[in-house]
Structure 1
Amino acid sequence: MISINGGVCAAKGFMAASYAAEIRKKGRDDMAMIFSKEPCTVAGTFTSNVVKAAPVMWDKNIVSSGKPVHAVVVNSGIANACTGKEGMDACKAEAKCVAEHFGDTFSAESVLVASTGVIGMQLPVDKMLNAISEMIPLLESDEAHATSASKAIMTTDTVNKEFAVEFELDGKKVHIGGMTKGSGMIHPRMCTMLCFLTTDVAISKELLQKALSEDIVDTFNMISVDGDTSTNDTCVILANGTAGNKEIIDDDEDFETFRSALHQVNATLATRMAADGEGASHLFTAKVVGARNKDQARTLARSVVSSTLTKAAIYGRDANWGRILCAMGYSGAQFDPEKVDLYFVNDIGKIAVYKQGVPLDFDEDFAAEILGYQEVTALIEMNEGVETATAWGCDLTHEYVDINAEYRT
């Protein structure tokens, strides 16, 4: 398995385009499209927030129906959340516009839509329909168009996020690629802010959904920027089967290979989102090892990276390990604090700060040096079992407050 360029266009048969619809701001592309001429099997996971945006409800219906999908249309700037019937009508108008431009060779129910941005504003539908009309002739299957699409869906992101891998199935070279956006309002209980994955693998809908649903538990569900679960969280994967492999219909070796590749893509994209948290200066990782079971490990790791006090300490380069123990203690997971060992780790070294119920004397200057690097890990040894889990987050900075104090205005 190798990483390759190409993002959502790395898989055969997928095209992308972007366009400046001027939804909220001028001077940058703010709409994107992914397209496959061949019909795609689709799987998806969506926000657990009771308040669900119109595009989430539109996409959930299509994914659950089992209908094939040909296109995804995404906008940034306005979330189309809490917008009532008008918001649902906007989704339908977008999808219908795409279908009509392809001569009604597929229906509006074969078009997914997604939005990100300010909640409670209606979409400028006329501008968006014009943008769709302009984007369709621009669709291409190269790396540049994939990258442009990944940039068009950004809001407060500082960098675009895309990744792809190539591997072999049934003697054929196959691919999985993806793009994500997410910087704030990141605390997924299903997947992430927005994530679009493409693959040329032939695979049944049931196994595609199984692979996605099971993998997000240890990838997108293990990141947190600010503890807020978005109204628009959407993660979908489209499989058009153009690689020519024998369709995966059983939970066999080929399926395990596919799952491994999907995990590499999802874990990479998830980590990049955590690192690009709003105002972040550090990628903060919590790795729990020696846990009693997987659920305990996941719960503890997520609680640590979600702790506001811990995130502030990481920003201040303060090895305040007590905040980590505190976050573990209120996580809901049961454990024995007197068995826990704590370390701060990165490329320059490892320092022990707490061991089996006893605080350790440690070099504060060296600890601060470790915490001063862009990536830092809290290694938590439970000494209760063999299970592990990793969660990713970021520090909490003054800039986070500045960004979100002015986000709408």
Structure 2
Amino acid sequence: MADWHEISGGVTAPRGYRAAGIKAGLKPSGLPDLALILSDVDAIASGVFTTSYVKAACVDYCREQLQKKQVTRAILCNAGQANAATGEQGMRDAIESATLLAKELQISPDLVLIASTGVIGQRIKMDPLRSGIPKLVAALSETGSDNAAGAIITTDLVTKSISLETTIGDRSVRIGGIAKGSGMIHPNMATMLGFVTCDAAVSPHLWQQMLSRAADRSFNSITVDGDTSTNDSLIALANGQSRTPAITEMGAEAEKLESMLTAVCQHLAKAIARDGEGATCLIEVQVTGATDEAAARQVAKTIVSSSLFKSAIFGHDPNWGRIAAAAGRAGVVFDQEQLRIQLGNFLLMDHGQPLPFDKGAASAYLKEIAEPYTAVAAGNGKPQSVNNPVVVKVSLGNGKGTGKAWGCDLSYDYVKINAEYTT
């Protein structure tokens, strides 16, 4: 049983944080497009960023800042323009964005981190941003997380937010997070943004280690379409305002904090996968029996990344052959005579041999899960829980390695959305 419970508040649930989200005029749609998360005091900051060689200016800017020192106060995010592949002027725009916010907050520019999302090749619309920053700062609130979550999304159908609370020593500790992402999502980070706040006191090196491991078990274990983005950023702050003793090395308290951090990241990652462009269902692939955790995750990610498998799930076709084929090409050594595949409660293969099963009932299982998601996409339903996925269980043998990955099906609407993205 988890050592924490869910609370309300998102990134402003932890003590000492405020947030805001406004309409600055960056998006052609006129929807909210500028967000800010602010810690009232200096916070330890850690980050995980895209592995793409084509990176947005905000990614290079944040990496440079965090290499200098792992301390920050603010995260500024614009939506509408990715500011990627925009050359030297794009970097100057990024620096100016941070400088303008720092001046408005009356803090040093090196205490500001930035993020961007939107169309690649488009610079930030600086005039709306310049006029929007004072309004953004004025809108800061201890209950502003939902507004910030709404201002960072692009093609997302819903906002993504979570906050959890536990007890360390005799005091409560909270972690909150918001994220965006719907398309161009693939392991090793993707076109997603994730911002996490925490009120524990943690040493910089340990906080970075915790975040990197949490990212591997969450955001690096999701896929929507196999495309890694130029802008993906996961930034986590820890400001010590819970007044708990500083955690400086691994132990029981550090393990509890990391487990809660991982849970926050996994919730947000699954929400992104669930909200994949055109998706009708969330898929969770659970792999056991591998030699180690990394091998298990690799097989899980390969299966959930398979376009053939994702298409079959969209068509409510329990085609286990596509699962077996993806597992076999994952680059992980296993004995196919030990392969076991289960879809929901339907056992499809055991000891490498196909088994008879009720294909109609298995198809109905897939359709039943898809229906609520389809209603949301059509604007006729409420966001569905990330705890209602299509579940695929794969066993490779007797190894101790286990791992999970999450994704979504591949629908007609995905092609439509991305065929017309800039037109």
The question of a shared fold, defined as TM-score above 0.5 by the shorter chain, is answered with yes
The aligned runs of 1:149-164 (5 Å cut-off) are 149-164=148-163
In structure 2, how many angstroms separate the alpha carbons of the residues matched to 1:37 and 1:358? 60
Q: Find the residue that maps to 1:136 and give its secondary structure.
A: helix
- Residue 97 (structure 2) pairs with residue 83 (structure 1): no
2:417 equivalent in structure 1: 403
Residue identity matched to 2:89: E
Residue identity matched to 1:337: Q
The superposition leaves residues 17-50 of structure 1 with CA deviations (integer Å, 9 ceiling, x where unpaired) of 1111121324311110001120111000100001
Q: 1:188 Cα shift?
A: 3.0
Residue identity matched to 1:128: L
Deviates most, 353-362 or 37-46 = 353-362
Deviates most, 25-34 or 202-211 = 25-34
Q: 1:111 Cα shift?
A: 0.5
The superposition leaves residues 339-396 of structure 1 with CA deviations (integer Å, 9 ceiling, x where unpaired) of 1111101xxxx01111222211211111101111232111112223122111000000
Residue identity matched to 2:399: G
- Residue 136 (structure 2) pairs with residue 135 (structure 1): yes
Q: 1:182 Cα shift?
A: 0.5
Residue identity matched to 1:173: S
Q: 1:190 Cα shift?
A: 4.1
TM-score (norm 2): 0.93
In structure 2, how many angstroms separate the alpha carbons of the residues matched to 1:240 and 1:292? 38
The aligned runs of 1:339-350 (5 Å cut-off) are 339-345=338-344, 350=345
Q: 1:295 Cα shift?
A: 2.1
1:110 equivalent in structure 2: 111
In structure 2, how many angstroms separate the alpha carbons of the residues matched to 1:174 and 1:248? 12
- Residue 327 (structure 2) pairs with residue 332 (structure 1): no
Q: 1:113 Cα shift?
A: 0.7
The aligned runs of 1:160-175 (5 Å cut-off) are 160-175=159-174
1:6 equivalent in structure 2: 9
In structure 2, how many angstroms separate the alpha carbons of the residues matched to 1:310 and 1:149? 35
Q: 1:64 Cα shift?
A: 1.6
1:258 equivalent in structure 2: 257
1:36 equivalent in structure 2: 39
1:64 pairs with 46, 64, 67, which one?
67
Q: Find the residue that maps to 1:301 and give its secondary structure.
A: helix
In structure 1, how many angstroms separate the alpha carbons of the residues matched to 2:299 and 2:40? 44
Q: 1:174 Cα shift?
A: 1.2
Q: 1:222 Cα shift?
A: 0.5
Identify if the C-alpha distance between structure 1 residues 258 and 67 changes in structure 2 by more than 3 Å, giving closer, same or farther: closer
The runs of 5 or more residues in structure 2 that have no matched partner are 371-388
2:358 equivalent in structure 1: 363
The superposition leaves residues 103-128 of structure 1 with CA deviations (integer Å, 9 ceiling, x where unpaired) of 3xx21111011001100011111111
Aligned residues: 401
Given that residues 305 and 393 in structure 1 are in contact (C-alpha distance below 8 angstroms), is that contact kept between their aligned partners in structure 2?
A: yes
Q: Find the residue that maps to 2:73 and give its secondary structure.
A: strand
In structure 1, how many angstroms separate the alpha carbons of the residues matched to 2:169 and 2:190? 30
Deviates most, 284-293 or 148-157 = 284-293
TM-score (norm 1): 0.96
The aligned runs of 1:215-294 (5 Å cut-off) are 215-294=214-293
In structure 2, how many angstroms separate the alpha carbons of the residues matched to 1:264 and 1:354? 31
Residue identity matched to 1:13: G
Q: Find the residue that maps to 2:399 and give its secondary structure.
A: coil
Residue identity matched to 1:55: C
1:303 equivalent in structure 2: 302
2:24 pairs with 17, 21, 26, which one?
21
In structure 2, how many angstroms separate the alpha carbons of the residues matched to 1:39 and 1:390? 35
Residue identity matched to 2:408: C
2:399 equivalent in structure 1: 385
In structure 2, how many angstroms separate the alpha carbons of the residues matched to 1:25 and 1:149? 18
Residue identity matched to 2:392: A
Residue identity matched to 2:19: A
Q: Find the residue that maps to 2:97 and give its secondary structure.
A: helix
Q: 1:171 Cα shift?
A: 1.3
Q: CA RMSD in A?
A: 1.1
2:380 equivalent in structure 1: none
Given that residues 189 and 228 in structure 2 are in contact (C-alpha distance below 8 angstroms), is that contact kept between their aligned partners in structure 1?
A: no
Given that residues 46 and 70 in structure 2 are in contact (C-alpha distance below 8 angstroms), is that contact kept between their aligned partners in structure 1?
A: no
Q: 1:192 Cα shift?
A: 6.3
Given that residues 190 and 221 in structure 1 are in contact (C-alpha distance below 8 angstroms), is that contact kept between their aligned partners in structure 2?
A: yes
Q: 1:6 Cα shift?
A: 0.5
Given that residues 67 and 109 in structure 1 are in contact (C-alpha distance below 8 angstroms), is that contact kept between their aligned partners in structure 2?
A: no
Identity %: 40
Given that residues 56 and 234 in structure 1 are in contact (C-alpha distance below 8 angstroms), is that contact kept between their aligned partners in structure 2?
A: yes
Deviates most, 151-160 or 188-197 = 188-197
2:316 equivalent in structure 1: 317
The runs of 5 or more residues in structure 1 that have no matched partner are none
